[in-house]
Structure 1
Amino acid sequence: MRLPVKPALFSALSLLAVASCGAVLGPSYRDENVTIASSANFDASRYVGRWYEVARYPNLFQAECPGAIAEYGASGTPGVLTVRNTCLDASGQPTEVITGTATDEGLGRLSVRLQGVPVAAPYWVLWVDEGYRTAVVGAPNGRVGWILNRDPEIPADRLAAAREVLDFNGYDLSRLQRSVTP
């Protein structure tokens, strides 16, 4: 099944790209006086595969997506992953897709460029558990943040660990929202 990529999503993603580059757009969910740390031992090849969004901070480009699935794949170019993000509606059904690439810049820092978006956005993997089952992702400006899991349901211990990582990196846990899963 091919899902549409809606122009409204492109516009919103363009806004995300601008916001990620430092323009004042949308709130920051983290205390920027707190040092943010990405995962120094991140292995992009182990990150490949499907990730379910478990929780996120509200953002403009996902305003119409109560949930999401992110899929990363090998692109054939060293240091570059393919990206496929699928929006889920309130019942967990897919509604639209956007694709792109993620360039590994080292230390868990990816630069994500999505189709139709004029600039790349920083995507920092702040933590991934030893088995690459749960990940925490954010950005230095704190305008985005996600908890991802390989399965739609996340065990309580890994959810607690993911929340601790967000807190350690200065994120306001009271603004974190659970996502719809399939």
Structure 2
Amino acid sequence: MLLGFNLDKHCLKALRNTVLLSLFFSISATVSMAQSLETVPYVDLNRYVGKWYEIASFPQRFQKGCNATTAEYSLSNKGYVIVENRCNKDSVNGKRSYIKGKAFIVEHSGNAKLKVQFFWPFKGKYWIIDLADDYSYAVVAHPNRKYLWILSRTSDMDDALYQEITSRVEAMGFDKSKLKRTKQF
């Protein structure tokens, strides 16, 4: 007996299936909402390549102790982007750390979604979610919102511009309190 009603096995099975389907669609909607992150509509890779300075990021284990962090992108003749990341460990004058990888463009993404690979066979999502018209800054993230980098063509960024960018990423569902400014030269 359920809520004062006498239900047979078929009714209980139907009720159970309805509850399970409701839970499934509820969880699916939550996961889908968490994954919905808009990228910029188009990235001109010829303008995007070059040196970028990390202005701020969500701290990651693989970047622990990094200062004066930069990323340099170049186009390979094989159709992918060469990624060279550098940082100085423990201080801006610390020991230089370097890693080289590849970034593969996701088809039909306007070049705004890439899959970056530093260690085969693992690839990480690299989505460009904000980009200055003049390519002077970029914001890169993972759709799970656990990874975020604010990049600039210069080692310093105007504080008003930084505040504008962080307000936009907060509106996209990122916790801007997790951002840590990167020490540059």
After TM superposition, the score normalised by the length of structure 1 is 0.75
Q: Equivalent residue for 1:83?
A: 83
| Aligned-partner SS, 2:71 | strand
1:69–1:88 contact (8 Å) kept in structure 2: no
After TM superposition, the score normalised by the length of structure 2 is 0.74
Q: In the superposition, relative to structure 1, how do residues 178 and 118 fare at CA in structure 2: closer, same or farther (>3 Å)? A: same
Say which of 152, 162, 173 aligns to 1:170: 173
Q: Equivalent residue for 2:18?
A: none
AA of the residue aligned to 1:132: Y
Q: In the superposition, relative to structure 1, how do residues 75 and 34 fare at CA in structure 2: closer, same or farther (>3 Å)? A: closer
Q: Equivalent residue for 2:144?
A: 141
Q: Equivalent residue for 2:64?
A: 63
Q: Equivalent residue for 2:28?
A: none
AA of the residue aligned to 2:64: A
Aligned mates of 2:120, 2:46 — CA distance in 1: 25
Q: Greater shift after overlay, 99-108 or 132-141?
A: 99-108
Larger radius of gyration: 2
Say which of 112, 127, 130 aligns to 1:127: 130
**CA-CA distance at 1:40 after TM superposition:** 1.0
Q: Equivalent residue for 1:113?
A: 117
Aligned mates of 2:60, 2:181 — CA distance in 1: 13
**CA-CA distance at 1:165 after TM superposition:** 2.7
Aligned mates of 2:44, 2:98 — CA distance in 1: 25
Aligned mates of 1:57, 1:70 — CA distance in 2: 16
Q: Equivalent residue for 1:103?
A: 104
| Aligned-partner SS, 1:121 | strand
Aligned mates of 2:56, 2:141 — CA distance in 1: 12
Q: Greater shift after overlay, 170-179 or 158-167?
A: 158-167
Aligned mates of 2:44, 2:105 — CA distance in 1: 9
5+ long unaligned stretches in structure 2 = 1-32
Q: Deviations over 1:136-171 (max 9, x none)?
A: 110011121010000001123331232123112200
1:134–1:158 contact (8 Å) kept in structure 2: no
Q: In the superposition, relative to structure 1, how do residues 158 and 178 fare at CA in structure 2: closer, same or farther (>3 Å)? A: same
Say which of 150, 154, 172 aligns to 1:151: 154
Which structure's residues are more often helix, by fraction?
2
